[in-house]
Chain A
């Protein structure tokens, strides 16, 4: 620990020296400008489509106050001829909207209609008493369906839920709720008439008056929502919740939940951490290039201490940032730290990999940008669906959104979101210490050679069985990430290609991951007999499958009813029987042994074909 602190102190001194005198003044000025600018923009309405549409209006048209529309006052005749020429996209008068039926004009009409609808609602709210203007109020109630798992923590956190309208007695023929429910084979689909018949059979003759809330009670809700409706224009408020229990919904005043809050939260936390970790990489690379790191290695400190020591100051700065942002947003500091510390460690581990692998700044910049966008996608993507789909819990950001909504999440949801990030950090530190030597750091080789080299250095040559198994286990999360990224890419393709492409990509990626360890040993001539190759290939396949299963199990215990996971399970796309894994991996490894590492790509093709045939077979049986 003492050594780590010494290293950290040295790092801080270095950073101070860098930003001294005039540079510090410039930094402070720029930071001040940035904060001031953000403040001003925040207090204006942020409109992204300024002046997108040109609209001609007559003098009796309703006024348009929306910066998306360029409004020109023009009489009807002139306006219509402008419309003909395409100088304006729409003409609006007291009667209605005239479009020139080009695409642009129709989009403009859509936008204007939405805008006018809003104005009209505000008008009727103003002109008529509330009961006449907003005659429909809907009270939302929830009822558990049999296949839902009980959400203990969430319920406990909401003690003020009133009892449902009538006591619900669970009939005995309903199976107890359990997460594994969704994995059972679905019931035989019933025809429309069968359902009708069953519904009729279930109907008894009892009748009771449904309880009704008094009209005056919901008036208050309408007034409240109308007030909100009148203020918020382009951007919804910092609120991500959608339909909570006992909400009163007024259909015309309800706006769809725009997942903007998620994006804002991410950027507030993640961007500063990215900035700070950029300093870490810069400093690391610079000392690497100037060989100061190598000098440090000859000092009586371990490699881990060097890495941690250099990282620590930046980690501390990041923690300050997290605390600061949480304070500003009014969140719970401990929860904020619990959620964002894993995220921070994850970002740092990515930057450590970049710094260890690349020698030129240019490559580093690009790899960082790539990493930044992938991380943002990983964090923001699932969180977009907070409260919509439980799969969103694979992103820790979802937890943050829940936190700011004042809702709580379960412990297993917390672990699902953060464990992968922490594992990545742990793995990176482990690999980092293994490859932290002069030859690796100073070597100037293509990326794939660097990766292979790092993997070879990570494996313990004395315990090949364990190392190979462990290696393929560690690669599983990476495989998942690559597959996720591939899904993002394939959305550009038409549907049939999408499915085919994903089938092929996932098979190829898995085959590479399973055989990588053995092939790298072969490349370094660490394996001699085909028996060894076969044994390690089997172990590698086993390790891969174990972790794959474990991850899916974890996912399923949280996402009890996700069709996505269900499809994966029944389709067997990810969870293939062990035999197949062993056979395909063995084929790849033995072919590579026989024909040399140069033919590794061909061996992958062979293994992938076997794997693919199997997958298609499984799919074929299903369809």
Chain B
């Protein structure tokens, strides 16, 4: 056993010395930051008020109204901080628009048979039209509901006081699982690289003579990779907490992530021992990974979904579901013990 620990120490040292972990962390940090930028972008679409709240954008709309039913619309726009100028006709409004004094022109005719066919004239410039339309979105929707009510059509469940859920779902169903599972992918890559390096440098032959079993040699590599993964996962839980994102059931989430990292490491060790060169091993690993990730989608709960629900604090989940994922780990481990020696000694 001491031999195993000596080997493990060697592997861990090589991981820290070669700054691999640093790279790994930078990569994940980058992905997380980038995703949050995208999130802000998406939020701007879903929740237009965030544009005006953050940037104090004010727009001015010219309105040409021939009906009397336009009053509510003007009120809704006014409530959303949109300035309004009333024009007698389009030509006048267009002239003012061309001077850049108004940002959009709305032509609101009288309703015909309960229908209002409005015309909205906007700047052609992409960036501007998006902002204009996003700010007009809510007043227009409310106006549509008003017209609907005038036609005695009622929409139920109008206001339930819920919060915009997009960020929440995005965070727990994408960002958190990615951060928790990415270290497993890295663990797999580390195992392949360190194992195939031993073959390419022909150092396995020397190790065969050492007083440790071959399985132990490979296991020390796997353990080092799993430990590295565990450190990253724990770190992410802490960092997310600092950012105000609480991972519920943290112990279970970490446990699940480590179990998956271990299973991935064992499988990749078998792959690496079988192929003995990095080129093929990495390629197969990537393909197997794609198949497994795709396949896991059909599991319920999938690893991804399980992490999502655990982290979001679903009370109906626990040890049982996490324990389920130990099964593939045990199967792969047994397979590994059976075939490792044969694979190492087999010819290339």
Which residues in A have some Cβ–Cβ distance to B below 8 Å? Answer: 18-19, 23, 26-27, 30-31, 33-34, 37-38, 41, 48-52, 54, 68, 70, 86-87, 96-97, 99, 103-104, 106-114, 116-117, 120-121, 124, 128, 131-148, 165-166, 168, 170-171, 174, 192, 195-196, 198-199, 202-210, 212-215, 218, 242-243, 249-252, 254, 256-259, 275, 278-279, 282-283, 286, 289, 360-367, 369-370, 373-374, 377, 381, 384-385, 387-390, 485, 488-489, 491-492, 561-562
Contacts and interface: CB of A to CB of B under 8 A. Distances in A.
Contacts of A278: 282-283, 286
A136 B107 CA distance: 12
Contacts of B230: none
B162 A109 contact: yes
B160 A97 contact: yes
Pick the 7 closest A-B CB pairs, nearest first.
Answer: A109-B162, A110-B162, A256-B45, A37-B294, A366-B23, A282-B279, A135-B147
A128 B189 contact: no
Contacts of A30: 284, 287-288, 291
A16 to B, nearest CB: 13
A377 B64 contact: no
B92 A106 contact: no
Given A286-B277, A370-B23, A390-B126, A97 B120 contact: no
Bin chain B's interface residue count. 35 or more
Contact of B89 (A19, A51, A207, A249): A207
Nearest to A135: B147
B20 A199 contact: no
A367 B23 contact: yes
Given A243-B133, A362-B194, A488-B30, A251 B88 contact: no
A145 B294 contact: no
A362 B18 contact: yes
10 contacts: A30-B288, A109-B162, A117-B157, A136-B115, A203-B87, A243-B129, A362-B190, A363-B18, A370-B27, A492-B33
A152 B95 CA distance: 23
Interface of B: 18, 20, 23-24, 26-27, 29-31, 33-34, 36-38, 40-42, 45-46, 60, 62, 64, 66, 83, 85, 87-92, 94-102, 105, 107, 109, 111-130, 133, 137, 140-141, 143-145, 147-148, 150-153, 155-165, 168-169, 172-174, 186, 189-190, 192-194, 196-197, 200, 243, 275, 277-280, 282-284, 286-288, 290-291, 294-295, 297, 300-302, 304-305, 308-309, 312-316
Contact of A50 (B64, B137, B141, B305): B305
Contact of A146 (B87, B100, B145): B100
Contact of A381 (B34, B294, B300): B34
A402 to B, nearest CB: 12
A110 B163 contact: yes
A113 B114 contact: no
Nearest to A19: B280
A48 B36 CA distance: 17
A491 B155 contact: no
Contacts of A365: 189-190, 193, 282
B89 A210 contact: yes
A387 B126 contact: yes
B101 to A, nearest CB: 6
Given A30-B291, A132-B114, A23 B280 contact: yes
A120 B117 contact: no
**Which of B45, B117, B122 has the largest count of A CB atoms less than 10 A from its CB?**
B117
Contacts of A134: 144, 148
A139 B105 CA distance: 11
Contact of B193 (A23, A250, A251, A362): A362
A107 B127 contact: no
Contacts of B116: 135-137
Nearest to B185: A369
Contacts of A171: 95, 98
B152 to A, nearest CB: 8
B114 to A, nearest CB: 5
B60 A195 contact: yes
B85 A251 contact: no
Given A106-B162, A145-B98, A206-B89, A135 B284 contact: no
Contacts of B133: 243
Given A30-B284, A196-B85, A366-B23, A206 B162 contact: no
A74 B247 CA distance: 29
A568 to B, nearest CB: 16
**Which of B60, B127, B200, B313 has the largest count of A CB atoms less than 10 A from its CB?**
B127
Given A144-B124, A279-B283, A215 B117 contact: yes
A166 B140 contact: no
Given A49-B308, A112-B160, A120-B156, A489 B33 contact: yes
B97 A145 contact: yes
B231 to A, nearest CB: 15
Given A121-B155, A389-B127, A491-B40, 12 more contacts: A30-B284, A54-B315, A132-B153, A144-B123, A144-B124, A195-B60, A209-B66, A215-B117, A363-B20, A370-B26, A385-B41, A488-B37
Contact of A252 (B24, B125, B130, B141): B141
A320 to B, nearest CB: 18
Nearest to A204: B92
A202 B96 contact: yes
A165 B128 CA distance: 21
B288 A145 contact: no
Contacts of A49: 169, 172-173, 308
Contacts of B27: 366, 369-370, 373
Contacts of B309: 51-52
A195 B161 CA distance: 38
A132 B162 contact: no
Given A37-B291, A87-B315, A279-B283, A96 B160 contact: yes
Contacts of B162: 97, 99, 106-113
Contact of A390 (B97, B101, B127): B127
Nearest to A82: B315
Contacts of A485: 30
